[in-house]
Structure 1
Amino acid sequence: MNKETFSLPDLQFYRWCGLKYGINRGIYNTIEALLFEKGYIDVYERRFALIRFLEYSLKGGLYDEKAKAMKFGRGNLTVMVNEFVDGKA
């Protein structure tokens, strides 16, 4: 991934994430909002953290091959983002 990817307009960056990680707009917005609340104010830092979280989630086996999407489960996304940011993951 290069700097150009992080510099994409918001919609294009979301679409890139959707294609690469199988997330929908709601998941993307939730992760981004949680990261912002956790202090990732700078958009580049937030996007970098978002990608690190999605990579971490992939390694955690959350990608459903049949659905071609990440499956976090009801209520788990917020918990996982908080644990990731707080270093408990």
Structure 2
Amino acid sequence: MKFGINRGVYNTIDTWFYHNGVKNIIFRRKKVLEFLSLARIHNENPKLKFGKGGLISKLNEFWTVENTTDKRVSRIKIDL
């Protein structure tokens, strides 16, 4: 699967997950792909754009939903 993001955005996402406790590289890569897949679902443009400050905001949203104790909570909607 391909995602239309630049290296800087990818590195920001990867670093964010690392600093939030996902130290294992395999698990971190899976989380990055999961986040990007969710972002792609809500975007019709092949290039993902998050806007100024939007990427970290969406990562925080994603992480909060992922780590809730009630897994029945619906997934976040990422509006791009």
- Could you say which TM-score interval applies, normalised by the shorter chain? 0.7 to 0.9
Question: Structure 1 stretches of 5 or more lacking a match?
Answer: 1-16
Aligned to 2:69: none
Aligned to 1:22: 4
2:15 equivalent among 33, 39, 43 = 33
1:50 equivalent among 32, 35, 44 = 32
Question: Structure 2 stretches of 5 or more lacking a match?
Answer: 67-75
Structure 2 counterparts to residues 76-87 of structure 1, below 5 A: 76-87=54-65
Which protein has the bigger helix share?
A: 1
Task: Give the counterpart letter for 2:42 in structure 1.
Answer: G
Give the C-alpha shift of residue 56 in structure 1: 0.4
TM-score by length of 1: 0.69
User: More relative contact order in 1 or in 2 (CA 8 Å, sep 6+)?
Assistant: 2
Moved over 2 A (4+): none
Aligned to 1:3: none
Can you list the C-alpha shifts for 1:48-80, whole angstroms capped at 9, x where unaligned?
Answer: 00000000000121x52xxx4111111100010
CA root-mean-square deviation: 1.6
Please give the alpha-carbon distance, in whole angstroms, between the structure 1 residues aligned to 2:13 and 2:49.
14
Please give the alpha-carbon distance, in whole angstroms, between the structure 1 residues aligned to 2:42 and 2:17.
19
Give the C-alpha shift of residue 26 in structure 1: 0.4
Q: Percent identity?
A: 34
